[in-house]
Amino acid sequence: MPPKIGDKSYRIHVNSSGVFIKFSGKMGSAYICPMKISNDPRFGFYALMDANKTYNISHIKNEFNQDIILIKEI
């Protein structure tokens, strides 16, 4: 992800109901299909994505046979 948008930093919060971006005092969102989304396949119900980092996004089944969108920093 780019280090900044314009000259401002940002953070992205992804959970089972949508993607939320906070930027320069404003917030945008986008709806997604309900599904567990996490940085950890066993725990957690959201993922944070920071500027200037690279992520791998994959669809997996965890040990409990639950579908999960896994977001891991690489």
Residue 23 lies in a domain: yes
**Cα separation of the two ends of the chain:** 12
- The CB density around residue 40, as the number of other CB atoms within 10 Å, is 13
- Would you say residue 32 has pLDDT above 80? no
Interior angle at CA 37, CA 33 and CA 39, nearest 5: 160
Domain hosting 32: range is 11-73
pLDDT of residue 54: 92
Measured between alpha carbons, how far is 3 from 8 in angstroms, rounded to an integer?
9
Residue 2 lies in a domain: no
Query: pTM value?
Result: 0.69
Mean pLDDT computed over 40-45: 75
Number of domains in the chain: 1
Handedness of CA 64, 69, 73, 74 (dihedral sign): positive
Residue for token pair 């005092």: 25
Residue 3 lies in a domain: no
